[in-house]
A = this chain, B = another copy of it.
Amino acid sequence: MNSIKFKNNRLYYLDQKELPLREVWRECRNLRDGFQATRDLQIRGAPLIGVFAAYCVCIHANNMDLKKEDFLKNLRYDIAYLKTCRPTAVNLAWALNRIEKVIEKNSKDSVQQIKQALLKEAKAIHAEDVALCERMGNFGAKLIKKGDRILTHCNTGALATSGKGTALAVVFKAKELNKDIYVYADETRPLLQGSRLTAWELMKKKIPSSVICDNTAAYLMQKNQVNKVFVGADRIASNGDTANKIGTYSIAVLSKYHKIPFYVVAPFSSFDLSIKSGKQIPIEERSGSEVKKVLNKLYVAPKAAKTISPAFDVTPHKLITAIVTDRGLVYPPYTKNIRKIFGV
């Protein structure tokens, strides 16, 4: 399963806004296409956005038939513009910073050589993302026992990365190892990434699963139907506090109450060791229309109603059983063990 394809110097992507009802592949023909697709969430998931943006720069470069000076000037300007399409996604800036370094390093070469160097770097970023997912999947699957019933939140699979995913990579690996798992996918209001995307991925991989409303997780826990929770992360502070999709903190508290292990799965690039705790992570407040008008199509509240619609919440480290990274498992005490696993 792939969410993007780069073939014969053309970039294609699966439009995630059309899922799960239609599988529509679109071509990203230029920088504007890429900007729009990312901002409109046709392409989403922090790791995937980074890989897609790197390829998008290659397409853009190939489209330009300019002398070197103008080529470089335009390219630098347009990359800076592309970075702004989703300012909170860490991996977008991270991937484009790598692309910019390649431009500077090769700026003495011919336009053709620079184009080749850009493509090489984009492919490297892509390959690395695939490898990180594999490693998280392998480490995380060791935590799963035969017959485990796993709850997950939002979408953390092949649609969120260019590989197998983060939390869902663990699930996929467990399936490969015939661990006979069952997965509950929180629908994840307001944007429904769980019911639209995670359910779709699980069905594609023939993993037995059910979609539940977010408010039903506690009911299943009460009935001993959930025995492990795996979620992704948008940013992890030095002390292990984890920002992730709104609703994650709720599940963490419910897991604690029901004595269910709660695992976060994230690659090294999701850790922000420049901040001490989750208190320093800014929480993006999104438009109330996402709550009031489902998928921008159906009103489910008075148009004038006020809303509170944070995109993320922060789960304190004390509620996290372990963090699955591409370097291995990290257990408490997190401040010490996170520094240790990343060798800093």
Name A's interface SS: mixed
Q: CB distance A184 to B308 under 8 Å?
A: yes
Most chain B CB inside 10 Å of its own CB: which residue of A222, A300, A309? A300
Is A211 among interface residues, defined by CB-CB distance under 8 A? Answer: yes
Nearest CB of B to A111, in Å: 46
Contact of A211 with B301 at beta-carbon distance under 8 Å, contacts A218-B250, A253-B218 already known: yes
Contact of A308 with B218 at beta-carbon distance under 8 Å, contacts A189-B187, A291-B187, A300-B294 already known: no
Is A21 among interface residues, defined by CB-CB distance under 8 A? Answer: yes
Partner of A250, one of B254, B256, B297, B298: B254
Q: CB distance B218 to A187 under 8 Å?
A: no
Is A195 among interface residues, defined by CB-CB distance under 8 A? Answer: yes
- Residue of B at shortest CB range from A194? B301
Complex: A300 Cα to B193 Cα, angstroms:
9
Complex: A294 Cα to B9 Cα, angstroms:
41
Which chain B positions have C-beta within 8 A of A186?
215
Q: CB distance A250 to B295 under 8 Å?
A: no
Q: What would 18 more interface pairs be, CB under 8 Å, given A210-B305, A214-B215?
A: A20-B301, A21-B303, A188-B215, A192-B300, A196-B300, A203-B305, A211-B292, A211-B305, A216-B247, A216-B308, A216-B313, A218-B247, A219-B310, A257-B257, A294-B298, A295-B298, A295-B300, A297-B298
